[in-house]
Amino acid sequence: MVSDRRLPDDELVEIDAAVRSHWPTGAAVDFEEAVSYHEELPEHKQFVQRLEADRDRPLLQPRAGVPRLDDQIALLQHLHSEGGAELLPTTIDSYTRDNRYEDAGAELETARETGENTLNGFPAVNHGVDGVRELVDAVDAPIQVRHGTPDARLLAAVTLAGGMQSFEGGPITYNIPYTSKYSLEETIEYWQYVDRLAGAYTERGVPINREPFGPLTGTLVPPCVAITICLIEGLLAATQGVRSITLGYGQVGNIVQDVAALRAMRTLGEEYLPSDVTVTTVFHVWMGGFPPDEARAYGVIGLGGVTAGIAQPDKIITKSPEEAIGVPTAEANAAGIRATRQTMEMISQQGVALDDVDEEQAFIEQSVRELMDAVYAAGDGDIAAGTVRAFESGQLDVPFSPSQAANGDVLPARDDDGRVRLLKFGNLAVSEGTAAVHKTRLDERAHSEQRSASFRMVADDVAAISDGRLIGRPSEAEK
């Protein structure tokens, strides 16, 4: 059984040599030389410095990745200059996420020959250390690696050596929502290398930020589930020496619940993570289905800006008005950043107070503590072993997961106020009192809609925002 142990240096070196042999560009990775490169980066390109030193207002960061290096440089420069993004992404392509470097390389060559974007992201492993550094050198803002890779070891080795100083994902958040290929034991072991590598850089004076992917499946994920999983990944990273951890949360759409969740996540992060870890938070604007037309898409983006303006997370992951279409243009992506900033800044200056937010925050914190207690108990105090066992038993679970590592036996639905509750609990480790709150709130909605609380309610809620609503109410004819 996997355990939450710190990888010894000799084991890190051994794994590193094997990982770098997976693709020819790995041979150019030289840790000592990479440390020297990082030390020469100007302060405004250092991710942790920018994130942790500027906490008086949220920093904005989009998603963005195209295959060719020159195009990626131009894209990020546009998002920085025209969108005003303080932090920049490099979103990795799907072939790289599946470790299919040969396929990624073939499509990259096609992109170079035709000028077409034949990949849905930037194939960083194929570009290698030199290509990543050319990108870092050309852009005047810190860059984060955003991907979705269950086995991200080579990607981490190449991009961190290339000068990037923030790496998204983790063994749960990049397994459970994305794949059925790997067990949790496998991905925890893979990410122990990623986190230990980040810790090794940190110990040499090059702090690497790690960011669990909070939205998970992106579809009505209850806040207590998302926060618990981010805390677990933060703890696993801290064991390996990571000292800058950004906990992630995906918007559910009810302002009170979202603000409460973001505040709870910060409180719980500071409670559970070691005192020498700096905890920051990131808010992902709605990750579910978007309305197909631009005007309504801006409405969703605006709601995210309002929520962020009240909650004041450290960072916001923005969305574009072309989300329903596919990969956005640079112009649309920049417009989404500006729209988010406009609503966020206007709300930030108003000192908005929300009724019931303290009660909702307390409820979320209590629910998370119940889940964390169950994970620790399942592992006899070992968070890694406990995570595997908790998922096996269903004490920890994620809705709508494709992974066989999760039971997928929980179902969410919105209550009469639009907050995400649990309709079906499976074996989720929450108390009877906590479960009763969920049931009562959903029963109230069912009564108001003159129907039973059932899977029909779940399906209606999944489609609601793309259909122009928050709650999937039935029509009069459907009652």
Instruction: Name beta bridge partners: 297.
Output: none
Residue of 86, 107, 134, 168 marked catalytic: 168
Point out the catalytic residue in the list 97, 146, 210, 263.
97
DSSP state letter for 181: S
Closest CA to 162 of 138, 182, 136, 187: 136
Cα separation of 154 and 160, whole Å? Answer: 10
CB–CB of 449/473 below 8 Å? Answer: yes
Count CB atoms within 10 A of the CB of residue 9: 10
Whether 323 sits among the annotated catalytic residues: the reply is no
The Cα 423–Cα 183 span in angstroms is: 27
**Could you tell me if residue 128 is left (phi over 0), alpha (psi between -120 and 50 degrees) or otherwise beta?**
left
Catalytic residue list contains 168: yes
For residue 337, give the nearest of 374, 308, 372 by alpha carbon.
308
Q: Give the contacts of 240 (CB within 8 A, at least 6 positions apart).
A: 6, 7, 192, 195, 196, 198, 199
Q: In this structure, are residues 118 and 107 in contact, taking their beta carbons and an 8 Å threshold?
A: yes
How many other CB atoms are there within 10 angstroms of residue 302's CB atom?
18
User: Three-state secondary structure along 184-248?
Assistant: HHHHHHHHHHHHHHHHHHHHCCCCCEEECCCCCCCCCCCHHHHHHHHHHHHHHHHHCCCCEEEEE
Which residues are part of the catalytic machinery? Answer: 97, 168
